[in-house]
Chains A and B, each alone.
Chain A
Amino acid sequence: MALVERKHVDGDVGRLSEATAGDFIALLKPRVMSLVVFTAFVGMVLAPATPNPLLAVIAILAIAVGAGAAGALNMWYDADIDAKMARTAGRPLPRGRVAPGEALGFGLFLSAFSVMTLGLMANWLAASLLAFTIFFYVVIYTMWLKRSTPQNIVIGGAAGALPPVIGWAAITGSVTLESLVLFLIIFLWTPPHFWALALFKTGDYARAGIPMMPNVAGEEHTKRQIFAYAVLVAASGVLPSVLGFAGMAYGAVAAVLGGGFVWYSWHVLRMDEGDRAMGPAKALFAYSLVYLFAIFAALLVDGMISRIGA
């Protein structure tokens, strides 16, 4: 964080911050937060219990704020590398809008409050899972894995995969096979999603010194890994139907969506080595976002229909 800290040490001592509420909201990574809210909500709907609607909304809010707090702590720690990448250079810390201390305090404060709120309003198992998710994302992924191994997002993906488990636990007070299948879908989806991005952002990651798979093991190896994971993603997508907690219609939708994932990954695998435009990798990245949203939307619809029918 040398670049950012120097600015504040040299020039801004004693000055009031110019950060607005919008800058602090940006620290929460609202787009990531929206995915967390959605997947946690699906976990809640699929859970075999009917929650008090207000307590369910509070639980969702607590999970969202906890995820946002983890994002703020990630931006606090990663300000130095964020400044070097075009994709992240506009974040509040690299731009000097928010001081590192402000981001750290904000992230720690919201982490504590979100965990306490979830514990008091839902249950302490869900709160413990939220605390673990924040810890895993900030300490295990951000501080340790991200800068040290090309398997960073494989292991770190566990943090992003936990929200539906937390949602499920908030309603039932337990962690079951069904919720772990939801975890598995996101966990297996994460590597091909980020490696597709890393393929066409190799320069960015190289400048920042982050050992993403294409930078360390090469493009060909990454493409093979993406394809292997795509097959696993497609298989995991139909598991809810196979295990009986989603209907056959969901299974058919998941099979089609999974087939699409494999198809896009196949095009990445066949992508010419000299293809610098990386069209297939960009297409897979875009499709992977659609896939995750669609598969959870399908689970949501299936869950809603089951509830109405019950």
Chain B
Amino acid sequence: MPDDDRIRPTEKELKARRNRSIAIALALAAFVIIVYLGSLMKLGPSLFDRAM
């Protein structure tokens, strides 16, 4: 497909996409931290007390 036939995102669309991407990254990071800390609280220190 020639380059000219492609839909070129506008500045506004690119800015909105960046805004969404940052929000998704922050939400995922928060989720990982929540699950990590929550697991520690739920299972306690025994979580790490395992035979190698």
**Which residues in A have some Cβ–Cβ distance to B below 8 Å?**
14-21, 24, 52, 54-55, 58, 61, 113, 117, 120-121
Contact = CB atoms under 8 A, between A and B. Distances in A.
A21 B24 CA distance: 8
Contact of B9 (A16, A54, A117): A16
Contact of A21 (B7, B22, B31, B34): B22
Contact of B42 (A15, A24, A55): A55
A21 B19 contact: yes
A69 to B, nearest CB: 13
A54 B40 CA distance: 10
A18 B23 contact: no
Nearest to B21: A21
B34 A117 contact: yes
Chain A residues touching B, majority SS: helix
Given A19-B16, A54-B37, 13 more contacts: A14-B7, A16-B14, A17-B16, A18-B16, A20-B19, A21-B20, A21-B22, A52-B41, A55-B41, A58-B38, A61-B34, A117-B34, A121-B38
B37 to A, nearest CB: 6
Interface in B1-35: 7, 9, 12-14, 16-17, 19-20, 22-23, 31, 34-35
A58 B34 contact: yes
Given A15-B13, A117-B34, A20 B42 contact: no
Contact of B20 (A19, A52, A113, A120): A19
13 contacts: A15-B7, A17-B20, A20-B16, A20-B19, A21-B20, A21-B22, A24-B20, A54-B41, A55-B38, A55-B41, A117-B34, A120-B35, A121-B38
Nearest to A22: B19
A61 B37 CA distance: 14
Interface size class of B (residues with CB under 8 A): 10 to 19
Contact of B13 (A18, A24, A58): A18
A24 B14 contact: no
B13 A17 contact: yes
A17 B17 CA distance: 7
A54 B38 contact: yes
A16 B19 CA distance: 13
B22 A16 contact: no
Contacts of A21: 19-20, 22-23
Given A14-B7, A15-B7, A15-B13, A20 B20 contact: yes
A121 B19 CA distance: 30
Contacts of B12: 18
Nearest to A97: B16
Contacts of B22: 21
A119 to B, nearest CB: 12
Nearest to A21: B23
Given A55-B41, A55-B42, A121-B42, A16 B34 contact: no
A294 B10 CA distance: 48
A120 B19 CA distance: 30
Contacts of B13: 15-18
B23 to A, nearest CB: 3
